[in-house]
């Protein structure tokens, strides 16, 4: 199977300028995690990606990548252009929604409260709003969104994006659960 390039140059520019910067700024407004000052400082020789952060980022990237590839494959069954549009849509939706997941490595979206950071909520709404502009009849051609990109394909892309984000949260919840059990076992051994 001959695969089209998953994104056009303009789509990549949109992803980098809009979908990276706005959520990153909003994440900078996140409140400190509870008991952060009670935690021991990390050793000075330990890198910033120690403690599972690199693995967490990699897992999120892999899940979003898988969702985008599946989406492109589904769209390519109709046309290369539809495949590109579906991959773009899935990536935008997944990366926007994963902003909620990226708020914490030790708390799930449910424990943080989905709406507790109005800046993150605003950033996600802003990104999704800008994305919706790419699908308008007079702009879709610039972003290589074909006229046959119907609600059916949008819902498929949204489902894949949401599935990736839900997997991120499930993995995080399991990691937190295992970490809590280890901590409890350590306390019981000491006590």
The pTM for the full model equals: 0.86
C-beta of residue 90 within 8 angstroms of C-beta of residue 71: yes
Spell out the domains of the chain, with CATH numbers in brackets: 9-27+53-190 (1.20.1110.10)
Q: Which residues contact 65 (CB under 8 A, 6 or more apart)?
A: none
The list of the chain residues with pLDDT below 50 reads none
Alpha-carbon distance values, 132 to 47, 54, 146 (Å) = 39, 32, 14
Give the pLDDT score at 190: 63
Instruction: Identify the pLDDT of residue 88.
Output: 95
pLDDT digits (tens, 9 = 90+) for 148-168: 899 999 999 999 999 999 999
How many Å apart are CA 23 and CA 126, to the nearest integer?
9
């Amino acid at each position: 199977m001959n695969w089209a390039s998953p994104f056009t140059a303009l789509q990549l520019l949109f992803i980098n300028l809009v979908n990276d910067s706005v959520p990153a700024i909003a994440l900078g407004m996140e409140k400190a995690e509870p008991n952060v000052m009670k935690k021991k400082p990390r050793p000075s020789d330990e890198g910033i990606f120690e403690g599972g952060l690199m693995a967490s980022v990699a897992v999120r990237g892999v899940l979003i990548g898988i969702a985008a590839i599946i989406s492109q494959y589904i769209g390519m069954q109709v046309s290369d252009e539809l495949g590109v549009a579906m991959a773009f849509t899935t990536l935008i939706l997944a990366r926007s929604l994963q902003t909620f997941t990226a708020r914490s490595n030790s708390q799930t979206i449910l424990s943080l409260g989905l709406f507790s950071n109005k800046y993150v909520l605003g950033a996600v709404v802003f990104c999704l709003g800008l994305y919706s502009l790419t699908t308008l009849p007079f702009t879709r051609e610039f972003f290589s969104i074909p006229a046959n990109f119907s609600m059916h394909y949008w819902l498929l892309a949204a489902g894949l994006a949401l599935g990736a984000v839900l997997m991120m949260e499930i993995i995080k919840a399991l990691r937190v659960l295992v970490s809590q059990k280890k901590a409890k076992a350590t306390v019981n051994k000491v006590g």
